[in-house]
Amino acid sequence: MDVELTKEYRFEAAHRLPHVPEGHKCARVHGHSYKVEISVAGPIDPATGWLIDFGVIDDAWTELFLRFDHHNLNDVPGLENSTCENIAIYIWQAIRPRIAALSAVTVWETYDSKCEVHVPRRMIPPAKAPGALRFLTLNLWGENGPWQGRLELLLDSLAALAPDVIGLQEVRETPGRVPNQAAEIARRHGWNYVFSPSTAWGGGHEGLAIVSRFPIGAHEAQPLPHSTETEGRIILSARVDAPGDVASAPFWVHTTHLAFREAEGRKREDQVLFIDKVVAAHANDNVQFVMGDFNAVPDSDEIRWMTGMTTLDGRRVAYQDAWARASSAASGGGNLAGVTWASVNPYVGFMYWLRADRRLDYIFVTPVRRDRRATVQGAWIVFDEPGETSAGERVFVSDHFGVVADVQMIAEPPHATP
């Protein structure tokens, strides 16, 4: 049986909000008596009779208490804009690596005002290991369906998921109606992003984006073979300038979205051949990633080529399919494990003529190095169940599920070989 434990803590602190409108009372330095609730959920250990020692939660909180209590929160690195939301996210991200079963963090700023970071447990992979970064790919499904609620759920969920780099497809921006969805993600979490339009759509554009908690350096977009004015297909590439303590060197990330009709496998073959040329043009001494909606199952020739299982145009490559590598699953399309376009998601019905229950979304990683960089430490399907918006609406984040992969980016001394 699963249970949920909650510990309650308090601290006193001052802060101000630097980004509120001019004249807003919260722009002045003021204080709060904060209350914090930390919740942990999971099964009871039959040997101990408990889920977790309350002391473990106490130990994790103590470090934060010393950082917060009777301090100005704006002086805490990462809380320069110390809204209730950002404090809750900060606490979550500090505690999650120590307590994998963390299920919720609630911060009460006043007796009647609180912020809760909480997502369905199936959306939360375990905390990533030291030396690894977390990558997420997601087709946003633009402004289709209840897009405002879907975006709200995504923004709330990302705090707990804590990705380092995100590849996005079907990102929409329509002046006066739909804000750039990648920009909204970046703004909410204080991250960085680049966006490139691929197709004019509804008075605005649809395109691809890369979002990163680290600075983004050089970036470029190139059209894929068979791209047209009404159905633009591109690859967006960006150099992520992560600091040396989380990645051994800056690295390139690419996101893309291939031809979507099932009979367009020949087009997709040309597109993956072009993608590999783009990756080769950006080769350096670090790992590279290709993330996106490939609109093809693992048994298709275009995906089998990416993973070194067949030859196209006289060429072979050998990228790692992160989800398959981590799950040790067969590559066949008949197994529902890893499916990202699923009949359980009602939004798939909007395109009822496309076959459901297929794995279409991938994170490809260049081969593992002898120093263990590019080792896939885990991969998960996320956003595969609905969540509840602030308006009480039950929604899925998108018509696609997302894929997350944790990949080692810090070099280790190579092991001796016989």
User: Which residues form the catalytic set?
Assistant: 26, 70, 109
Cβ atoms of 143 and 174 within 8 Å: the answer is: yes
What distance in Å separates the CA atoms of residue 32 and residue 247, rounded to the nearest whole number? 38
Long-range contacts of 142-148 (CB under 8 A, 24+ apart): 142/170, 142/171, 142/172, 142/181, 142/201, 142/206, 143/172, 143/174, 143/177, 143/178, 143/202, 144/347, 144/350, 144/399, 145/347, 145/350, 145/395, 145/399, 146/393, 146/395, 147/172, 147/178
Which DSSP symbol is given to 314?
Answer: T
What distance in Å separates the CA atoms of residue 190 and residue 243, rounded to the nearest whole number? 17
